[in-house]
Structure 1
Amino acid sequence: MSTDEKDSSSLEKPPSSTEVKDKVELWKINKETKELIIKNYSGNGNSTWETLPECSLAEMGFAECSKDIKFRFEFGKENIIRKITNILQNKIGTDMVVHVGDQDFPCHWPVLYYYSEYFKKFEKVNDIFLSSDKVTPKGFQLVYEWMTDINAEIPWKNFVDLYMAVDFLKISELHELICCRLDNPKLLSGFEAFKFFLQTLPLNSALLQDLMLTRINKYFLLAVATEEYLNLEPKHVFNMLNQMNMCVNSEMEMFMSGVRWLLYDWPNRKQYAVTIMQAIRFNLMPAWYTTSLKSKHQNANFQELLDISEVQTMINLGMSFSVTHNFLDPISPLREPLQMQKPHDRQWVFNPKVSHHHRCECPKWRFLSIDVFNQYLQDIINAAIQYVPSLENVKPGQLMPCCQEALEKKSLNT
Structure 2
Amino acid sequence: MCISNFPYLIILLRIQLFAKHIIANTDFGHPTHQLESGKFAANKMSEEVVDSEKISHWDKIDYDEKPNYLTLINKRLNEFKHPNIQIRIGEKLFDCHALLLQCFSEVFDELGNEPDVTLPEEKVTPEAFQLIYEWLLSQKSGLQREHFVEVFVAAEYLRIPRLINQCWTYVNDAESLMEDQAFQLYLETIPFKHAVLQHMMLRRICRFFLTLVASEEFVRLPVEDLCVLLKSNFIGVFSESDVLYAAAVWLLDDWESRSEHVGEVMKLVCFPLMSPSLLSRLIRCEEDDRIRVILQHDTTKNLTIQALTGLFKTSSDQRFGLHNSSKPVHRTWLKDPTVSAAQEDKPLDYKSHHQECTFGKFMERLEGLTSNPNSWQDFETFDDVKYA
Structure 2-normalised TM-score? 0.71
**Alignment-derived partner of residue 5 in structure 2:** none
**Alignment-derived partner of residue 335 in structure 2:** 350
1:259-298 superposed matches below 5 A: 259-297=248-286
Distance 1:139 1:218 in 2: 32
Distance 1:365 1:188 in 2: 32
By how many angstroms is 1:304 displaced?
A: 0.9
**Alignment-derived partner of residue 362 in structure 2:** 373
CA contact (8 A) 1:350 1:394 kept: no
1:167-246 superposed matches below 5 A: 167-184=156-173, 187-246=176-235
Would the alpha carbon gap of residues 270 and 120 (structure 1) be closer, same or farther in structure 2, given more than 3 Å must change? same
**Alignment-derived partner of residue 323 in structure 1:** 312
By how many angstroms is 1:173 displaced?
A: 2.0
CA contact (8 A) 2:239 2:355 kept: no
CA contact (8 A) 1:222 1:380 kept: yes
Asked whether 1:119 is paired with 2:119, we answer no
**1:262 maps to amino acid:** L
Would the alpha carbon gap of residues 322 and 84 (structure 1) be closer, same or farther in structure 2, given more than 3 Å must change? farther
**2:117 maps to amino acid:** I
Computing the radius of gyration from Cα coordinates, the structure with the larger value is 1
The RMSD of aligned alpha carbons is 4.0
Distance 1:153 1:395 in 2: 31
Structure 1-normalised TM-score? 0.67
Would the alpha carbon gap of residues 106 and 215 (structure 1) be closer, same or farther in structure 2, given more than 3 Å must change? farther
**Alignment-derived partner of residue 15 in structure 2:** none
Distance 1:100 1:63 in 2: 60
CA contact (8 A) 1:251 1:280 kept: yes
**Alignment-derived partner of residue 3 in structure 1:** none
Alignment partner of 2:86: what SS? strand
By how many angstroms is 1:154 displaced?
A: 4.5
**Alignment-derived partner of residue 151 in structure 2:** 162
CA contact (8 A) 1:100 1:136 kept: yes
Correspondent of 2:301 among 306, 312, 321? 312
More helix by share: 2
Question: Greater shift after overlay, 385-394 or 181-190?
Answer: 181-190
1:29-44 superposed matches below 5 A: none
What is the percent sequence identity of the aligned residues?
A: 23
By how many angstroms is 1:250 displaced?
A: 3.0
**Alignment-derived partner of residue 109 in structure 1:** 98
By how many angstroms is 1:126 displaced?
A: 2.2
**Alignment-derived partner of residue 138 in structure 2:** 149
Deviations 1:150-178 (A, max 9, x none): 36875413121122112322322223333
Distance 2:279 2:172 in 1: 37
More contact order relative to length (CA 8 Å, sep ≥ 6): 2
Size of the aligned set, in residue pairs, is: 334
**Alignment-derived partner of residue 253 in structure 1:** 242
CA contact (8 A) 2:285 2:295 kept: no
The unaligned stretches of length 5 or more in structure 1 are 1-53, 397-414
Distance 2:62 2:328 in 1: 71
Deviations 1:277-319 (A, max 9, x none): 2322223333333222112236444111111112222222333
CA contact (8 A) 1:220 1:247 kept: yes
Deviations 1:44-67 (A, max 9, x none): xxxxxxxxxx9x999xx98969xx
By how many angstroms is 1:210 displaced?
A: 1.3
CA contact (8 A) 1:145 1:152 kept: no
Would the alpha carbon gap of residues 184 and 395 (structure 1) be closer, same or farther in structure 2, given more than 3 Å must change? closer
